[in-house]
Structure 1
């Protein structure tokens, strides 16, 4: 699969990202769209990843800037876990362990194919400081190797005005559980 956008997709995505950026200035106080756009135009492979985030209903937006590297940080900012990434188990090992009723995919491989990273628990909690996310859904997050080795995986959501981290068998999947990603540009 070519990881390049058509000129129409390129322009459409920049327009969408700019509109979202301007509508949600609380997520990136002090940052300027022109600077973000210049980085995006200079990194077409990152723009392709943002397009993948967008077409799976992630609604990516800038949530920070790394002053040391100069990179802008994007997270999926959809109100609920992205619809195009739900009903999936945690990783390939979990997917392969299911004998029947297998989900179509897994979070780790989907993120890799999109060129993004799953949010860590810490990143998920940072996202929740910017708004109320996953009030009805939940999202897989990076799971420590010690937990994964024992067959588990972690996911988070927001209920009762509190961010929770839970565990489940990594092979489990639910219609309301997907994953959120991050991308540095």
Structure 2
């Protein structure tokens, strides 16, 4: 990846991060039900950026850098554990795409995004398992009291709740990928007839 490619990925990553933050804040309108869709709306908003990035910068490492930049921004905001989660999304997402030629393969790009976002949606589980209630309250004192951290634990370690979260996230990831591919094919892809997608695009 050349310097200009790296800069492009950074720009796409920052835009994607901003859109995801907007989505994350927007879920507050759903009140107590917002926890079930805590990353779902953000996933839909950021998908077109991810697709466009993969098309414009079809280089090995693009997906890793995309998630890494978001993780670094979170770290600057004091939420360094998100860096580990997002790095996991990036590594697995990059592995799914494989060869750089596959950055032009809709199926690979879609699956990469879907899996990466599913991992991201589980960040609450990872925090509870590896940091614990006390650690969560200590690491994020402005966001969690011990009582609130315990509520998060009880929610995410409940099989029914976790299943609902994953189902919603999966559906929104698929929808986001579908919208992203559709937007790119319609407005930016001059050779869309040669692109194949698991969604029939």
Q: What TM-score range do you get, normalising by the shorter chain?
A: under 0.3
Greater helix fraction, Structure 1 or Structure 2:
2
Greater strand fraction, Structure 1 or Structure 2:
1
TM-score, with length taken from structure 2 = 0.26
TM-score, with length taken from structure 1 = 0.28
